[in-house]
Structure 1
Amino acid sequence: MKPLPNEIVLRPRFQIASSENKETVLQKFENVSEPPFLVNRLDDHVFIKFNVKNNHFWSPQLHLEIDEVDETNCQINAIFGPNPTLWTFFMFIHFVIATLFIIIGIWAYTSAALNKPYHFQMGSMVVITVLWFVLYFLGRSGKKKGKPQMHQLHGFAMKVLTK
């Protein structure tokens, strides 16, 4: 397994080859109860996140997918990600901003083609661009704030797997 990188990656991933069968690995996570972690299993997927007390807006979660290699071995594919609600919200905001930018750009082009003033539209496009950069840096700072918890999740998963 590669160690976690020091830089912030959008959705860091890692893989672990296990010499145990899939059901044994899944059972390890099913039977564990260790605060501050909440472990949920859905079929061959395990989701590890923080309890409400230790959860903040930028808290990450760890998604493990356990794939069977053969009857005695499995592979664990892991991916860190933000809370799905937060992820969906950020994607929605980016979609709205991009849509507004395109609409206002068309409006500005139309006004320019008709020899009408288009200063408002151009100013709005600049404001939207600045807003997009603000969102980008908010997201980066949020990921930085969640990085210590990401390491805690990784440590917990490794501890459970090595039991």
Structure 2
Amino acid sequence: METDNSIALRPTFSEDVPQSMQQILEKAATIKQEVKDDFIIKISDHHLFIFITHAHRKYYSPHLHVELTENDDKTTNVRGLYGPDQTVWTFFMFLHFIIAGVFLVFAMMAYSHYTLKQSTTFDFAIMTIMVVCWFALYVQARINRTKCQPQMRKLDALIEKIIAV
């Protein structure tokens, strides 16, 4: 499957396969036992969650969430979302909110200082640092995405094996 190479940090794919959702889920359950040393496959209703095992996992290791939707013509739409570990994603989001919060506080302080005819140099310096930190987080996320490409390819090969006819 070809993942989207856009600016998104969480690549996705979508594909229609000529199998029923039940056939795909049964095949996933069978393959789950074969690959248990390298992958953890969790099946929940019409969702597959595929993780790298703890022995091979790095902090940047991706996981794959696959949603299966049965079409009217007895085919199944397979939609996948690659993402980082939930803990890492939550931490990155937390840092983004902290940086945005600090930026907004100092923007308000800069406005107050400006209206009171006081110096705004410190406020704008902190705001600039927050913008730099925000870009640094983005660059780090892109670096992590590049590092996890080999593991993403392994996850991709596994889902291809599961949905192969």
TM-score normalized with structure 1 length: 0.90
Partners of 1:8 and 1:148 in 2: how far apart?
19
Name the amino acid aligned to 2:44.
L
Kindly indicate whether the alpha-carbon contact (under 8 Å) linking 1:40 and 1:48 is maintained by their aligned counterparts in 2. yes
Task: Give the 3 Å change call, closer, same or farther, for CA 148–107 of structure 1 in structure 2.
Answer: same
Q: Is the 8 A contact 1:46 1:64 kept in 2?
A: yes
Identity of aligned residues (%): 31
1:151 corresponds to which of 150, 153, 163: 153
Runs of 4+ aligned structure 1 residues displaced above 3 Å come to 4-9
Aligned residue in 1 for 2:135: 133
* Whole-angstrom distance in 2 between the partners of 1:37 and 1:12: 19
CA separation in 2, counterparts of 1:129 and 1:44? 41
The answer to whether 1:50 aligns with 2:52 is yes
Structure 1 residue 25 corresponds to structure 2 residue 27: no
The structural deviation recorded for 1:16 is 2.2
Aligned residues: 162
> Residue type matched to 2:42 in 1?
N
Corresponding residue number in structure 2 for 1:98: 100
Gap change, CA 1:60 and 1:66, over 3 Å in 2: same
Q: Which residue of 2 aligns with 1:14?
A: 13
Identify unmatched segments of 5+ residues in structure 2: none
Q: Distance in 2 between matches of 1:67 and 1:126?
A: 46
RMSD between superposed Cα atoms in Å: 1.8
Amino acid of the structure 1 residue aligned with 2:20: N
